[in-house]
Amino acid sequence: MSITRTLLTAARSRGRRAAGRLVHRGWRWVQEVGAVSNQNPGPYRFGELGDGSKLAFPLGTVFNEQSISIGPFCIIGERVTISAGFLPGLDLGPEPIVRIGGGCVIGRGSHLVGHQSIVLGDNVWTGPGVYITDQAHEYRDTELPIGKQWPRNEPVEIGAGSWIGTGAVILPGARIGRNVVVAANAVVRGEIPDHSVVAGAPAKVVRSWTEDEGWQPPIRYDAPRPLPEGVTAEQLRALVGWDLHLPGEQ
């Protein structure tokens, strides 16, 4: 009996391993087929979806995508919500409500919720779970439930090259400059100058750069080692495994 049980246990274990491999292979196939690009748009008709851009599957909530513009070579992570307007099916006019520049990376589980104007410049990268919105709830009427009061909108702009850390919240009216670092879990409102680091809730500038003084306070750790001289773009692409060619190019 013990030999029989051992054989049955071994057979079940092999079966579970085989089933696990099949499940993961099947899920990878679903992710590949379900990813959205301009070559494979699925049910979505974005105002613009640039060459080389991809929205990973499964997507978050996406509606009124005709008012959403995504530039080339963007990576939109899994379960990212990108929405325009209050409800699906709205005609929001010819201009995009949410504009994402080229080369942007939006971390998984993030939310871009636009009603008037959200603009991300080129090469804006975010960590996971970032929330960006141009609309705030109104609460001044003390008799009416807050959720039923007409909200207020203020445009949001994030400058090219900026990095938005995990869990950050970008509030209506925020205007973030170029190459700004927003620390994890920061809550940002108002004007943020170029080349600065902000942290906290509400976020405050904790480090900034000027041509005359450099970084203040000074950065106290060594800079990353640069790439060796003579490294070609092709070698770099092979190293990191990215294919940055436009579809159809060799």
Instruction: Dump the DSSP string for 6-50.
Output: HHHHHHHHHHHHHHHHHHHHHHHHHHHHH-B-SSS-TT---SEE-
Angle CA 98–102–107, to nearest 5: 70
Nearest alpha-carbon partner for 58 in 30, 83, 82, 85:
30
Cα 24 to its chain centre, rounded Å, is: 25
**Does 137 participate in catalysis according to the annotation?**
yes
How high is the pLDDT of residue 121?
97
Q: pLDDT for 168-202, tens place per residue?
A: 999 999 999 999 999 999 999 999 999 999 999 99
Q: How far apart are CA 37 and CA 205, in angstroms?
A: 37
Phi, psi of 109 (to 5 degrees): 75, 10
Q: Which two tokens stand for residue 128?
A: 């996971």
pLDDT digits (tens, 9 = 90+) for 52-106: 999 999 999 999 999 999 999 999 999 999 999 988 988 899 999 999 999 999 9
How many whole angstroms separate alpha carbon 158 and alpha carbon 132? 10
Question: What is the C-alpha separation between 148 and 225, in angstroms, rounded?
Answer: 54
Name the one residue in this structure whose structure tokens are 């899994």.
78
Q: Is 245's pLDDT higher than 60?
A: no
Q: Which residues pair with 98 in a beta bridge?
A: 68, 118
**To which residue do tokens 């963007």 refer?**
74
Which residue among 24, 115, 137, 245 is the active-site one? 137
β-strands 105-106, 135-136: how paired?
A: unpaired
Query: Given this model, what pLDDT does residue 43 score?
Result: 93
Q: How far apart are CA 77 and CA 206, in angstroms?
A: 29
Burial class (CB in 10 A: 0-12, 13-18, 19+), 42: middle
Exposure letters 119-154 (e unless 16+ CB within 10 A, then b): bbbbbbbbbbbbbbbbbeeeeeeeeeeeeeeeeeeb
Helix count (H) and strand count (E) of the chain?
A: 2, 24
Statement: residue 239 has pLDDT above 80: no
Count of other CB atoms within 10 angstroms of residue 21: 10
| Cα 169 to Cα 125: distance, rounded to the nearest angstrom | 14
Alpha-carbon 89 to chain mean position: 24
Tell me the mean pLDDT in the region 3-18: 80
pLDDT range class, residue 222, cuts 50, 70, 90: confident
